[in-house]
Chain A
Amino acid sequence: DAGVTQSPTHLIKTRGQQVTLRCSPKSGHDTVSWYQQALGQGPQFIFQYYEEEERQRGNFPDRFSGHQFPNYSSELNVNALLLGDSALYLCASLRGREGNYGYTFGSGTRLTVV
Chain B
Amino acid sequence: AQKITQTQPGMFVQEKEAVTLDCTYDTSDPSYGLFWYKQPSSGEMIFLIYQGSYDQQNATEGRYSLNFQKARKSANLVISASQLGDSAMYFCAMREGLPGSARQLTFGSGTQLTVLP
Please, which residues of chain A bring their CB within 8 A of the CB of B100?
A: 97-99
Give bound CA distance, A56 to B106, whole Å.
13
Please, which residues of chain A bring their CB within 8 A of the CB of B102?
A: 31, 48, 50, 55, 94, 96-99
Docked-complex contact A103 and B35, CB < 8 angstroms: yes
**Interface bracket on B:** 20 to 34
Docked-complex contact A108 and B104, CB < 8 angstroms: no
Q: Say if the beta carbon of B18 comes within 8 Å of chain A.
A: no
**Set A45, A96, A101, A110: member contacting B35, Cβ < 8 A:** A101
Please, which residues of chain A bring their CB within 8 A of the CB of B35?
A: 101, 103
**Interface bracket on A:** 20 to 34
Docked-complex contact B44 and A108, CB < 8 angstroms: yes
Residue of A nearest to B42 (CB): A107
| Interface residue ranges of B11-55 to A (CB < 8 Å) | 33, 35, 37, 42-47, 50, 52
B 56-94 binary contact with A (CB < 8 Å = 1; else 0):
000000000000000000000000000000000001010
Interface centre among A100, A101, A104 (most CB of B within 10 A): A101
Docked-complex contact A90 and B45, CB < 8 angstroms: yes
Please, which residues of chain B bring their CB within 8 A of the CB of A55?
A: 102
Closest-CB distance, A43 to chain B (whole angstroms): 5
Docked-complex contact A56 and B104, CB < 8 angstroms: yes
**Set B44, B101, B105: member contacting A103, Cβ < 8 A:** B105
Docked-complex contact B52 and A100, CB < 8 angstroms: yes
Closest-CB distance, B3 to chain A (whole angstroms): 11
Closest-CB distance, B112 to chain A (whole angstroms): 9
Q: Say if the beta carbon of A28 comes within 8 Å of chain B.
A: no
Residue of B nearest to A97 (CB): B100
Residues of A within 8 A of B (CB): 31, 33, 35, 41-45, 48, 50, 55-56, 58, 88, 90, 92, 94, 96-101, 103-108, 110
